[in-house]
Structure 1
Amino acid sequence: MSWKSTLIRLLEDNRGLVVLFFCLPASYIFNLILHTKNWLYRKFYGSSLNHDRQVIKIQNQIKSWKKSNSTKLLCNDRPNWLSLSTKFFQKQKCHKVSVNLVNILELDKKNLTIRVEPMVTVGEITEYLIPMGYTLAVTLEISDATLGGLAMGTGMTTYSHKVGLYQETIISYEVVLGDGSLVTATKVVNSDLYKALPWSHGSLGFLVGLTLKIIKVKPYVKLTYIPIKGQKEYCDKIRYLSGAINCKDKVPDYVEATIYNRNEAVVMTGEFSNGDSNLPINHVTKWYKPWFYKHTESALKKGKFTELIPLREYLLRHNRAIFWVVESMIPFGNNPLFRLFFGWLLPPKPAFLKFTTTPGIRTFTFTNQVFQDIVLPINELENQIATSEKLFNTYPLLVYPCRVYDHGPESGQIKRPPSKYLIPGTNYTMYNDLGIYGVPGHVKNKVKYNPVAAMRDMEAFTRDVGGFSFLYADIFMTREEFGTMFDLELYEKVRKRYFAEGAFPHLYEKVKPEIDVFEIAKRYE
C-alpha cells in the first residue's frame, strides 16, 4: 500500500481527530487571514469604481472564452471546498472564471437597502449593519454563508414567517450573462430573469452585485423559551405564533422550534428589545457557553424562561455547533472542559471539513448521516415529523416557519403553493423548514438501513404535499422527479433568452450529487 493510500485510510478512520487537530486550528487561522485580507481589500479597493473594473474583467474573461469556441461550460473558480454545499461539483470539466467580489458597496438608510458584492458573508454583513441599528430582513445562522450564494440558492430565518424566503428581500440582481453582457434584473426590468435567478445555483449567469432589503432593529432580542409536551400542542403553538392560524393576531419578531422527540419540543419567540434590567443577558456565542440547542433543551427541565441575547449573537446562535452537526464529528464537543479549553476554535469551517473529505469519507457521510433542509406546508407538520421519524429516526428536528408566496404562473422554480393552504385574504401560505441533521437512529442501532431509499421516500412525500428541498444538500431524484418538485418552465425559457444555454450547466446538473446515488442504493438491496 502506498503512502498516499495509507494517509487517506488514516484520515478516514480517524475523522474526529482530523477535525480536532487539523480542521479546528486551520479554520481559526484561515478565518483570521481571510478576515484581515478582506478588510484590507475593502479599505483600499472598496469603491464602486473598482467594482466596475472587476466586473469588466469578468466580462472580458467570458468574451475570451466565447471567441475561443471552447466546448467547456462556464463556472466560477472558487474551490469546491470553500462552498457550503455538501456536493463536489466537477469544476475541472468547466472553463473557470475568476469572480472575487467581496465588497459592501452602498448603504441606503432612507430606502432601507444595501448593495453588496456576492461574496460578502453573513458574518461580515451582520458585523457591518448591526452596530448602525440595521440587519438584513433574512439572515442565515451560518456566518460563512455568502449573500450571493443565498441569492442563487435560497435561505430563510426565524424572521421568515413575516417576510418569506431570502429571495423576497432582493431588490435587484446584477448579472454577467453567457455572452459577456451585464444586465440588472428587478421586478420591472428583466423581470423574467429576476424571477428565475433564485434557486438557479449559478446556472444562468455570474452574479456580480446584489441589492437587499434591510430592517431597523434594536440591540437585543428578548427570547422566551416555551417547553411543550404533546405533539398536537407544540404543532398548534408553532402554527399560531407564526400566523398560520388566527393570522390577524400580532406575531413575534422571531419564531422557531426545536423538537427533541415526538412528544417534546421547545418553541422560542423573540422580540426586538432595547434592554430590560429585570432580565439576564446571555452571550450565547461565547466559546465557553453550552451549544445553543443544548441550552434550549434545558427548558424541558426547568420550565419556561426569558432572557436577553445581543442581536448579532442571536442571529448567529447556531453557528458554533453548526446547529448540532458538530456533535457527530466531535461527540465530546459540548463537554464543559472541551468548551473551556478548545471552544474558542469552534466552529470548524465547512471549507476545511470539505478539504479533508476523501472519497471514502464522502461515501461514508452520504450513507451514514443525513443533512437536509426541506420546506413543507406547516399544516402537514405532524406528518412531517412522523415521516422523518420513520425514515431517519433522528432528533432534534429544526422548525422555522416561513411564508411562501403565490406570485402567479411562471414565477420561478418554486411551484405555486396549493390553494388549499393559502391563508384567507392573503397571497401566501405558511410553510416551514424541517431541518434533519445527524446520524439516523437506524445507523446508531445497527438496524438495516437504505439511505438512498429513505431519502427518496422523503422526497416523494415532499413532492406529494407541495414542498421542496433546499438544493445545497444532496438530492436523490431523477431529472424527471426533479422537474415534478420544481417548476422549470420559466427557467428553461430564461436559459435560452439570456444566453445560458451552451454557456452554463443546467440546474439539475449543478445540484445533483457527483456520486451515483442509484449505484450506491444497489448495495443495500
Structure 2
Amino acid sequence: MLPTSFKNRLISWLEDHRELVVVAFCLPASFLFTLLLRLRAALRRLASDPTRHEGQVRRIQAKVQEWNKLPSANRRLLCTARPNWQSLSTTFFEKHLHHQVAVPLYDILELDKQAMTVRVEPMATIGDITEYLIPKGYSLAVTIELVDATLGGLAMGTGMSTHSHKAGLYHETVTSYEVVLGDGSLVTATAENEYSDLFYALPWSHGSLGFLVALTLKIVKIKPYIKITYTPVTGQKNYCDKMRELSGANEAKPKNHPDYIEGTVFSKDKCVIMTGEYSDNDGVTKVNHCARWYKPWFYKHVEYFLDKGESTELIPLRDYLLRHNRSIFWVVEDMISFGNNPIFRLFFGWLLPPKPAFLKFTTTPGVRAYTFTKQVFQDIVLPLQELERQINLASELFEKFPLLVYPCKIVDRGPSTGQLRRPPSKYLVPGTNYAMYNDLGVYGVPGKVKDKKPYNPVAAMRKMEEFTRDVGGYSFLYADIFMTREEFEQMFDLSLYERLRSKYHAEGAFPHLYDKVKPELDVFKIGEENALS
C-alpha cells in the first residue's frame, strides 16, 4: 500500500498534469480499446441471425427459472451480466452482490415500413440503428447523440433529443416491450393489451421489473440533410421566450414548428438557438460535415455565430445526430483545453473522444471517489416556463457554461401511469394534455473546482434537486442522485411501480428502483467531509 504522503503527491501531480496524462495515455489507450470493441461488434454483426432470437430468449427464461429453484437463502437479487463499464451511467452498480444473467441480445430484428416501426433487441446501440436506418431513409423518432447508448437501456431509463418537442421522451416512441419476468415467464406489454400497466411502468424502471429482451420503436421518414439555422440571441428573457415560442409551449394551435430545436447557453445573457428541418441538398446552401475528426467541436462552431450573426447550413443527417459525440458535448475541453486547436484536431482529432467505456473500465474506487467531487454531469427535466430560474440556479451552483437546453413534451397520461409525476396543470399547454419541459444539461468541471476554491458537490446537487422537486421536474437517473429515499419518492410517483413489483414477480427478484440507481458511494458522508474541508 502506498504511503499517504506519496499518494497525495501523486494525486497532486496527476491533477496538475492531467492534460499530459490524457493525451499521452488515455487517448491512445482509449483508441485501442475502441478498436477492440469495434472488432468484437463487427464479428457479432457477421454472426448476426435474428432467427436465433426466440432460442436466446428461452435460454434467459431458463436461467431465471433455475434461479427460482434455488433455496431462498441462496437467491441473490437478479441483474444482467453486462459489465458496469459498458453502461453509460455514471454510477457503478454493485453487480458482484447480485445473481447475474447474461442477456446477449444485439440484433435488429424487423423493419416494418407500413407500421413505421423497428423491432430490436435491447443491446443494439444508437450507432447500430443509425447505420441501419439512415441509408434506408428512416430514423428513430428520438435519436440520442451518443453512439454507445443501447436502445434497451434508453427504454428502461430515458432519453430525449432535439426532436422531443414533437416526439416527447424516448419512451413515448416505444410501442411494445418484451420482458422476462421474475418467475421466468415472457410477456409482451403494449398500451392496449392486458399488460398495459406494465407498459407504463417500464420506462424509468432501470431493469428493476424484469429483463427486457426486445422492444419496438417508432421511426420517421427522413431526408439526407438537416437544414440548420443558427440564431444568436442576447438577453436572457429574449432567448427563453424564443425557445418557448419555437417549441409550442405557449399555444396549442397547429403551427409548423421546426423538426429540431436546440439551445446552447454560453452565459446568462447569450445563447445560440438552432432550428433544423429535414432537407435535400439544394446545391446552394453550404454543407458542413461536422462529425469529421478535423472539424471544430460542434459547440465551438455554434459559439462562432455569437459574433457572425444568424446563418444557415446543411448537415448530413448522421453527422447531425452524432454532432456532440467527439467532444462529449463540452466535457473533453476540461480534459484537453487545447483539444479544439486546429493543429491538434488535424493530427490527433481522430483519437477523440476518449471512450466513456474505457474511462469507466479504468476507474478504480479511489478514482471514482476523487472525480465525484471534481465534476458534474447531469441532465435534468424541468418545465420550460421556468427556464430563467433554471439557468440562474445552475449558474450560481456550478458556475459552468455552456448549458444545454432541449425542449421536450411531457404528456399527462393520468394518475398512476408510470414513475413520472403528472406535470402541474399550470404548465400544461392550453387545450392539450401535455406540458413543454426541457432538458437542462450541466456537464464538466465546476468553476470553483477550476479556481481551486471550496466546492461541495453534494450541497450543490441537493439544492438543484430540491428546486427540481418544487417545480415538478425529474432527474435523469443515469447520473448520480443525491436524494434520500423519501425525497426520491417525492420526485417520482412509485404508486403503480410498487403494485407491479408484487404483481409481476419483481419483489424479491430484482433490486428496487431507488437501490438500483443510487450511487454506490456514500454521498452524504462525502458532503459532510466537503463541508468541513
TM-score by length of 2: 0.95
Which of 218, 223, 226 matches 1:218? 223
Which of 25, 28, 32 matches 1:25? 28
Q: Which residue of 1 aligns with 2:463?
A: 457
**Structure 1 pair 15/501, CA: closer, same or farther in 2 (3 Å)?**
farther
Q: Which residue of 2 aligns with 1:309?
A: 315
Q: Which residue of 2 aligns with 1:58?
A: 60
Q: Which residue of 2 aligns with 1:411?
A: 417
Could you say what secondary structure the match of 1:523 adopts?
helix
Could you say what secondary structure the match of 1:376 adopts?
strand
The one-character-per-residue Cα deviations of 1:168-226 (angstroms, maximum 9, x if unpaired) are 00010111111111111110220111101000111111111010000000000000000
Q: Which residue of 2 aligns with 1:107?
A: 111
Q: Which amino acid aligns with 2:96?
A: Q
Q: Which amino acid aligns with 2:162?
A: T
**Structure 1 pair 225/154, CA: closer, same or farther in 2 (3 Å)?**
same
Which of 351, 357, 361 matches 1:351? 357
**Structure 1 pair 8/77, CA: closer, same or farther in 2 (3 Å)?**
farther
- Is 2:67–2:75's contact at 8 Å kept on the other side of the alignment? no
Measured in 2, the distance between the counterparts of 1:510 and 1:328 equals 29
Q: Which amino acid aligns with 1:413?
A: Q
Q: Which amino acid aligns with 2:270?
A: E
- Is 1:8–1:358's contact at 8 Å kept on the other side of the alignment? no
Q: Give 1:17 deviation, angstroms.
A: 4.1
Measured in 2, the distance between the counterparts of 1:216 and 1:448 equals 51
Map 1:176-215; keep pairs closer than 5 Å. Answer: 176-189=180-193, 190-215=195-220
Q: Which residue of 1 aligns with 2:148?
A: 144
- Is 1:220–1:275's contact at 8 Å kept on the other side of the alignment? yes
Q: Which residue of 2 aligns with 1:523?
A: 529
The one-character-per-residue Cα deviations of 1:5-43 (angstroms, maximum 9, x if unpaired) are 979957965654443344333333333333343343334
Q: Which amino acid aligns with 1:235?
A: C
Q: Give 1:45 deviation, angstroms.
A: 3.5
The one-character-per-residue Cα deviations of 1:236-285 (angstroms, maximum 9, x if unpaired) are 01111111124432100000000000000000000000112221100000
Which of 224, 230, 234 matches 1:229? 234
Measured in 1, the distance between the counterparts of 2:528 and 2:212 equals 39
Q: Give 1:303 deviation, angstroms.
A: 0.8
Question: Aligned residue pairs: how many?
Answer: 524
Percent of paired sites with the same residue: 65
Q: Which amino acid aligns with 2:22?
A: V
Could you say what secondary structure the match of 1:374 adopts?
strand
Measured in 2, the distance between the counterparts of 1:505 and 1:271 equals 43
The one-character-per-residue Cα deviations of 1:387-418 (angstroms, maximum 9, x if unpaired) are 11111111000000000000001110000000
TM-score by length of 1: 0.97
Q: Which residue of 2 aligns with 1:164?
A: 168
- Is 1:60–1:180's contact at 8 Å kept on the other side of the alignment? yes
Q: Which residue of 2 aligns with 1:126?
A: 130
- Is 1:12–1:358's contact at 8 Å kept on the other side of the alignment? no
Over 6 Å off, 4+ runs? 5-8
- Is 2:265–2:271's contact at 8 Å kept on the other side of the alignment? yes
Measured in 2, the distance between the counterparts of 1:20 and 1:61 equals 44
Q: Which residue of 2 aligns with 1:482?
A: 488
Measured in 1, the distance between the counterparts of 2:298 and 2:362 equals 26
Q: Tell me if 1:41 matches 2:39.
A: no
Could you say what secondary structure the match of 1:368 adopts?
coil
Could you say what secondary structure the match of 1:524 adopts?
helix
- Is 1:12–1:361's contact at 8 Å kept on the other side of the alignment? no
Q: Which residue of 2 aligns with 1:428?
A: 434
Which of 235, 259, 262 matches 2:265? 259
Q: Tell me if 1:93 matches 2:65.
A: no
Of 8-17 and 108-117, deviating more is 8-17
Which of 431, 447, 454 matches 2:453? 447
Q: Which amino acid aligns with 2:35?
A: L
Measured in 2, the distance between the counterparts of 1:15 and 1:348 equals 14
- Is 1:12–1:360's contact at 8 Å kept on the other side of the alignment? no
Q: Give 1:87 deviation, angstroms.
A: 0.4
Q: Which residue of 1 aligns with 2:374?
A: 368
Measured in 2, the distance between the counterparts of 1:95 and 1:330 equals 40
Which of 464, 478, 486 matches 1:472? 478
Of 140-149 and 238-247, deviating more is 238-247
Measured in 1, the distance between the counterparts of 2:23 and 2:93 equals 27
Q: Which residue of 1 aligns with 2:330?
A: 324
Measured in 1, the distance between the counterparts of 2:462 and 2:515 equals 18
Q: Give 1:330 deviation, angstroms.
A: 1.8
Measured in 2, the distance between the counterparts of 1:73 and 1:230 equals 52
Could you say what secondary structure the match of 1:255 adopts?
strand
The one-character-per-residue Cα deviations of 1:314-349 (angstroms, maximum 9, x if unpaired) are 000000011011111222211112111111111111
- Is 1:374–1:467's contact at 8 Å kept on the other side of the alignment? yes
Q: Which residue of 2 aligns with 1:239?
A: 244
Q: Which residue of 2 aligns with 1:511?
A: 517
- Is 1:38–1:102's contact at 8 Å kept on the other side of the alignment? no
Of 24-33 and 161-170, deviating more is 24-33
Measured in 2, the distance between the counterparts of 1:57 and 1:45 equals 17
- Is 2:22–2:335's contact at 8 Å kept on the other side of the alignment? yes
- Is 1:452–1:518's contact at 8 Å kept on the other side of the alignment? yes
The one-character-per-residue Cα deviations of 1:92-128 (angstroms, maximum 9, x if unpaired) are 1001111111101000111110000001110110011
Measured in 1, the distance between the counterparts of 2:197 and 2:14 equals 46
Measured in 2, the distance between the counterparts of 1:294 and 1:98 equals 41
Q: Which amino acid aligns with 1:119?
A: M
* Structure 1 vs Structure 2 CA RMSD: 1.8
- Is 2:251–2:429's contact at 8 Å kept on the other side of the alignment? no
- Is 1:156–1:402's contact at 8 Å kept on the other side of the alignment? yes
Which of 295, 301, 307 matches 1:295? 301
Could you say what secondary structure the match of 2:395 adopts?
helix
Structure 1 unaligned blocks of 5 or more: none
Q: Give 1:426 deviation, angstroms.
A: 0.9
Q: Give 1:55 deviation, angstroms.
A: 0.8
Q: Which residue of 2 aligns with 1:498?
A: 504
Q: Which amino acid aligns with 2:189?
A: A
